[in-house]
Structure 1
Amino acid sequence: MIKTRILDLPVQSDVHAHAHHQLIVGLEGSADFEVEGISGAVNRLQACLVPGHRWHAFSGRGPNHMLILDLHSDQPGHGGSENDGLVRLFDAPRFVRLDQRMQGLLDFAVQVLGSEEAAESPMAWHLGGVLLHGLHDRLFSTPVPLSSAAAIDLEKLEAHVRENLERAISVPELATFACISSSHFHHLFKQVSGLTPHQFVLKIRLEQATSMLTGSTMPVAEVASRCGFSSQSALTHAVRRATGKTPKRLRSLA
C-alpha cells in the first residue's frame, strides 16, 4: 500500500521513527534530514529514502512543500505483490539525485495533488507507485547509483569553498568534506553539478572576485589574494577569459 501526500515540514527539528518506509522529495524549498548518522538536503534535486523503524531527524529550511510517500510493506496480502521489489529501495538510508525524468514526474505530482481530495484519489496512489518505480530503476539500473554514500550537497560544498577561498582547495579535500571516496567524487560531482570540481571552485572564486572588483576600491592584487588566485596576473587571465575584460576595465564599467 502506498500513501502519497504533500506536507510542510516545521523549521524546528523533530525526531521520530515509524513502521512504514518513506520517500521524501522537495517540491518547494528544502529540508535537512539525518537517518542514523547519514545526513543530507532534500529538495527538487535530491530525495531521501527512510527505511521503516529507522530513527530520523528533520527540519525545514524556511517555507517548504514536501512530497511524502509512505510504503506499507506489512499490509495483508503484501507478499508476492509488485511492491515487494520496491522494498529493495529501503534496504538502507539513501539520498538520491533526481534526474530530468523524475523532475517531470514531480511537476505532474504538483498538479495532481493540488487538493486534499486528490491526495486520497486512486491517481495519487498510482502516482506514488510510478515515482517509487522510477527511483528503483534510477538506483538499480545504472552502473553508478547515487546512494547515501554518494549524496552531494552543493550548498554545503559551496559554503565550504567560500569559507576557505583564500587558500588552495583540492579535489580530495572536497571529497573528504562530502564523505565520498576521491576515486568516485569527480565523476559523481560532474553528474550532479554539470561542472568538474575544479570548474566549480573557479566559478566561485570568479564570482567573489568580480563582486569585490565592482563593489570596492581594493587593489587588484589584494582581491586576487583574498579570492585564492596565485597572483594578480592569474586573476587577470581568469577574469579576461570569463568576461572578455580586464579587472581594471570591469571595475570602470561598474
Structure 2
Amino acid sequence: MIKTRILDLPSQSATHAHPEHQLVVGLQGCADFEVMGQGGAVSRLHACLVPGGEAHAFSGRGHNHMLIMDLPVEASGLAGYADDSLAELFDRPRFVHLDHQLQGLLDFADHSLNQPHSSPQLNWHLGGVLLHALHERLVRPVQERPHALDAADLQRINAYIIQHLEQTVSVAALAALVCVSPSHFHALFRAASGRTPHQHVLDLRLREASRLLRDTRLPVAQLASRCGFSSQSALNHAMRRQLGVTPRQLRLGRLH
C-alpha cells in the first residue's frame, strides 16, 4: 500500500536506506538529495524518485515541507491500482521537473493532507494519482497534442524564461511547461513564433541586456551574467551579431 505523509527535513545531512521506493516532492522550501551518485534539489519544481534499498543522503534548506510517498517494491502492494507498472518509475534514481499541471495537483494534495481529519482512503488515492501522472510523463511515450501553442502557452513560456534569465534555459524545461516532448515542442514553438526556442531565449536575453545598458550603470560584465551570458565577451559577440552594435555603443546611445 502506498503511504503518503508530509515531513520537515532537518538541515543536518543524514543518510539512510529503506526497502520501499520513495517519491519526495517539495511543498514548501527546498531540500538536497543524493542517490547513487546523482544529486539534485527537491522543491516545488523538482521531485526525487528513490529506488527501494538504495542509500541516499538528504538535508533540508531551512524551513521546508516535503511530501513523501512510500511505494512497496512487491507488486502485491499495489493491488487496487489500475496499473502495476508504476514500479518502472523506480528503475533508477530520477530528478524530475514538475510541470504546472502537476503543481496544481500538489496544491490539492497539500491542502488535503493538512486537514485535521484527513481520510486515509483519500491519501491513498492521492498517492496513486500523483504516481500515475509521473508515469505518464516519464515512462510511457509522450502523447503529442495536435494543436498549436496558444497565447496562454506563450505567455507562460516567456514568464519562465524571464524568471530564469541568469540560468541555463533548456528546451526540455520549456516543453514541460506545456506538457509535450522536447522534439515536438521545437516544432510547435517555431510554428507559433516563427523562430526556434534558442533564438527566442537569446532575443529575450538581449532585450533585457539592452534595457539594463540604457537604464542602469551596472558594469557590463555583471549585466551580462544577470542576463545569462557566460561572459562580457559573449554578450558583446551576440549583440554585435544580432543588433549590429556593441554594449558600449548602446550605452552611449549610438543605436540607430
TM-score, normalised with respect to structure 1: 0.64
State how far apart, in whole Å, the 1-side matches of 2:93 and 2:68 are: 15
Return the alpha-carbon distance in structure 2 between the equivalents of residues 202 and 136 of structure 1. Answer: 35
> Quick check: 89-98 or 17-26, which moved more?
89-98
Shift of 1:102: 1.5
* Counterpart-to-counterpart distance in 1, 2:84 and 2:36: 24
The equivalent of 1:216 in structure 2 is: 217
| Correspondence 1:230 to 2:236 | yes
- Three-state SS of the structure 1 residue aligned to 2:26 is strand
1:43 paired to 2:43: yes
Q: Which runs of 5+ in 2 are unaligned?
A: 144-160, 179-195, 225-230
Show CA shifts across 1:62-95 (max 9, x none).
Answer: 32211111112349x5386647322111111112
Residue 200 of structure 1: how far off its partner (Å): 4.1
Q: How far apart are 1:137 and its partner, in Å?
A: 1.4
Q: Paired residue for 1:177?
A: none
Amino acid at match of 1:134: A
CA deviation after TM superposition for structure 1 residue 197, in Å: 4.6
Unaligned runs of 5+ in 1: 145-153, 162-173, 175-185, 240-245, 250-254
Matches within 5 A, 1:11-30: 11-30=11-30
Partner of 2:100: 100
Offset at residue 37 of structure 1 (A) = 1.0
Over the residues paired in the alignment, what is the CA RMSD in angstroms?
4.0
Measured in 1, the distance between the counterparts of 2:107 and 2:45 equals 12
**8 Å Cα contact 1:78-1:84 kept in structure 2:** no
What amino acid sits opposite 1:126 in the alignment?
A: H
1:35-72: CA deviations, max 9, x gaps?
10112222222211101111111222332211111112
Map 1:75-224 → 2, pairs under 5 A: 77-78=76-77, 82=81, 84-115=84-115, 117-118=117-118, 121-143=120-142, 187-192=171-176, 196-197=197-198, 199-200=200-201, 203-204=204-205, 207=208, 210-211=211-212, 214-216=215-217
The alpha-carbon distance between structure 1 residues 69 and 222, as it changes in their structure 2 partners (threshold 3 A), is: closer
Residue 230 (structure 1) shift:
2.5
Q: Which whole-Å deviations, capped at 9, do the CAs of 1:135-173 have from their partners, x for residues lacking one?
A: 1112122349xxxxxxxxx9xx97676xxxxxxxxxxxx
Distance verdict in 2 for CA 1:159–1:237, change over 3 Å: closer
- Tell me, in whole angstroms, the C-alpha distance in 2 between the residues paired with 1:204 and 1:193: 19
| Aligned sequence identity (%) | 44
- Distance of aligned partners of 1:223 and 1:90 in 2 relative to their CA distance in 1, 3 Å threshold: closer
Q: Determine the C-alpha separation between the residues in 2 that align with 1:227 and 1:112.
A: 51
Aligned residues: 207
Task: Report the 3-state secondary structure (helix = DSSP H, G, I; strand = E; otherwise coil) of the residue aligned with 1:47.
Answer: strand
Task: Answer whether contact 1:33 1:39 (CA < 8 A) is retained.
Answer: yes
Q: 1:204 to 1:57 in 2, by over 3 A?
A: farther
CA distance in structure 2 between the aligned counterparts of 1:37 and 1:134, rounded to whole angstroms: 26
**Structure 2 CA distance, aligned partners of 1:98 and 1:114?**
21
Query: What is the TM-score of this pair, normalised by structure 2?
Result: 0.63
Work out the CA distance in 2 between the residues paired with 1:233 and 1:204.
10
Q: Distance in 1 between matches of 2:70 and 2:58?
A: 16
Letter in 2 for 1:216: R
